Amino acid sequence: MSSQHSSHDPAHFPASTEDLLYSDYRKTEELGTLRQVARALAAETNSQSVLQTLCQLSMVRGRASGAAVAELSGDNGVYVACAGRTIDLLSMTFPLEGTITGRVANELRAITILSPDASSPFFAELLPRLGIGPILLLPLLANGQLFGVLSISRDAGHPQFDETDEERLGVMADLAALALWKARLLEDARSADAAKTSLLATLSHELRTPLTALEGYSELLEDQILGPLSAEQQDVVMRLRTVGRHLGSLIEDILTYASLEADRLTARNATVRVPELLDSLHPFIEPLAREKGIEFSIDLEPGLPSMHTDEARVRQILLNLCQNAVKFTEEGAVSVRVTRGSPLADGAATVRFAVRDSGIGIEPTDMQRLFRPFSQIENVPAGRHRGTGLGLYIARRLATMLGGRIEVVSRPGEGSVFTLVVPVTH
């Protein structure tokens, strides 16, 4: 084997080639580090976590001893995240006038200062006491919105930040600003959802009281306690009670939705006799079916055992499925067939409640969003089948809470079968 050096020995490359290779290596290393920074920032889901992660990364990437983020509010700034030597600045409010932070916010560009003496009188006195020397300040800007100003500091006597530092840390600040923008959007959405849920719950509670009074008055009339009624008057009262029950079920759905979204709903299990449960459906569903001229029936397999589950929630699921079936059926029938089901994976016995209709069926494109809240089936004549869009969403959530599930079989134009499968004992 020859003792001569290979032509690929780095020691024999011209200096310019070595420089190129080193430059490529540094670029690759820098790109890898940026990817890690981007992943770390993108992993955070709230703005405060993004800011704290940004401060920590800034100290590492900038070979710095401190980092802080100031948000702007009118003529003042406030430090909302700090790390390292600047930790004592957290929550401190300061006037923006005459500060470098104010200049960065106005000019939307990076500014480097060699020592705190170049800052405002307020900071010129405070920062040296913290042992702070050179500072690099960067705007946190994304989609035309300024989220704050990032200050990265080194100890007194250390080298000032150069152009390479400014470029490297500027890219990181831009990545952080995008992460902040995403996190604030998520926080605004969560806040809006919470406000919506709270409003729905409050309105529903307020509506329930007068509705209960109306139901009580209509029951007095229907029982003719206040005097005899003609056939026409009895029909009007019956329709009044039917509408009242429907409105009550809508209010119950809204309250249930609010409780589910707030994770406040738990099952209240007790012994449930299936025939009695099914009998309780008739006052709600029969008048709706009769009004549309369709048949409503219930078929119960003999010998079904009693269940141990939340009767009110099973009834609510079945009411939603039956009301939907009647709503989307113009002629024909709606039926409920109750049978023993196949055991679950753990061997638990189940009961199947199959709600069948001869209605319009469901298009494959609608099946994907069938159980989403507030969703409506497309290609339905306007005003004919409108509702809250909560029924099926609530039904599936409640079924899951009871350890069960909902199965769907449907063909457009041929009707649908929605089957609630729940364990006998939950």
Contact criterion met (CB below 8 Å) for 93 and 105: no
Give the pLDDT score at 1: 41
Mean of pLDDT values over 65-78: 92
Give the pLDDT score at 380: 54
Of the listed ranges 65-79, 199-213, 402-416, the one predicted with least confidence: 199-213
Domains and CATH numbers, the chain: 11-188 (3.30.450.40), 266-423 (3.30.565.10)
CA–CA dist 372, 367 (Å, integer)? 10
Give the pLDDT score at 85: 92
Of 65 and 29, the structure prediction assigns the larger pLDDT to: 65
The strand ranges marked E within 266-347 are 270-272, 295-300, 307-309, 333-341
Give the pLDDT score at 10: 45
Residue 188 pLDDT level (bands cut at 50, 70, 90) = confident
Radius of gyration of the chain (CA): 34
Sheet containing strand 415-423, edge to edge, reads 295-300, 333-341, 350-357, 415-423, 405-411
CA–CA dist 199, 131 (Å, integer)? 51
Give the pLDDT score at 248: 81
Reading the block at residue 181, the tokens are: 């923008």
Candidates 128, 138, 143, 239; CA nearest to 182 is: 143
Give the pLDDT score at 13: 45
Give the pLDDT score at 259: 80
Of the listed ranges 203-207, 329-333, 392-396, the one predicted with least confidence: 203-207
pLDDT reading at 27 higher than 60: no
Give the pLDDT score at 38: 66
Give the pLDDT score at 6: 41
Contact criterion met (CB below 8 Å) for 269 and 308: yes
pLDDT reading at 369 higher than 90: no
Residue 21 pLDDT level (bands cut at 50, 70, 90) = very low
Residue 250 pLDDT level (bands cut at 50, 70, 90) = confident
Mean of pLDDT values over 12-31: 48
Of 205 and 81, the structure prediction assigns the larger pLDDT to: 81
Give the pLDDT score at 25: 42
Q: What is the DSSP letter of 98?
A: T
Phi, psi dihedrals of residue 119, rounded to the nearest 5°: -90, -170
Burial 217-233 (b: 16+ CB within 10 A, else e): ebeebeeeeeeeeeeee
The strand ranges marked E within 102-180 are 111-113, 132-142, 145-155
Give the pLDDT score at 11: 45
pLDDT reading at 5 higher than 60: no
CA–CA dist 267, 425 (Å, integer)? 12
pLDDT reading at 84 higher than 90: yes
| Per-chain mean pLDDT for the chain | 84
Mean of pLDDT values over 111-118: 83
